[in-house]
Amino acid sequence: MNLFLTGTDTGVGKTFVAALLTRALRAAGFGTLALKPLCCGEREDVEILRAASGCVLTNEETNPIWLQAPAAPLVAAKLENRILSLDVLETWFRDLSQKYPSLLVEGAGGWLVPITPEQTLADFAARLALPIVPVVSNRLGCLNHTLLTLESIRARGLHCPGIILNHLTAPSDAATRATRETLEQSIPILLEIHPAQGSISHSDLAGFLDKDWR
């Protein structure tokens, strides 16, 4: 089970979802490790993913590029006079994939966030050719963000088996319920995550694994 977890925007809860899913997959016997190729700002997300992965990897193995500013990778790299390379990131991933059979790669920010002046996170994901799973926060604007993200993923010929819908607040009002129903008409919802959720149930994980991962 290998996949690339992206976001429709920043602050949609990718790391929370990635940690939940990693723990569930490890409990199911996959030995999954969560990776974060690019981290901008505090490195707390890396620690969370490393802990969810059973501390098998070091921080540097989990996260090869750490930039200090909480900004898009291209902007943060410019502030440090650094030039980022997709070749370096691809080599890092290929080396790990030869040692570990199940890797979950968490992107940085949204799908088209720039990494270099000419390349985006989507270009990096295309190199890895993993199934792409967007994390969507059920909030105002998510329909537009989700449809644009899906359009871009499909335009690159990449496979998206579905989305993970993350509720940052309890889905108690009619608008959030209607948004969920509308999203489901366009793309399968692989998992639905609720605030403070501590784990993914066996039945929900089974449904997740039963989708078209090609």
Which residues sit opposite 7 in a β-bridge? 110, 135
Looking at the annotation, which residues are catalytic?
Answer: 36
Q: According to the CATH classification, is domain 3-209 in 2.30.110.10? A: no
**β partners of residue 38:** 65
pTM, two decimals, is 0.95
pLDDT value of residue 171: 63
Q: In what order do the strands lie in the sheet with 103-110?
A: 33-35, 103-110, 3-7, 132-137, 163-166, 189-193
Domain extents in the chain? 3-209
At 37-81, the pLDDT tens digits run: 999 999 999 999 999 999 999 999 999 999 999 999 999 999 999
Mean pLDDT of 7-33: 96
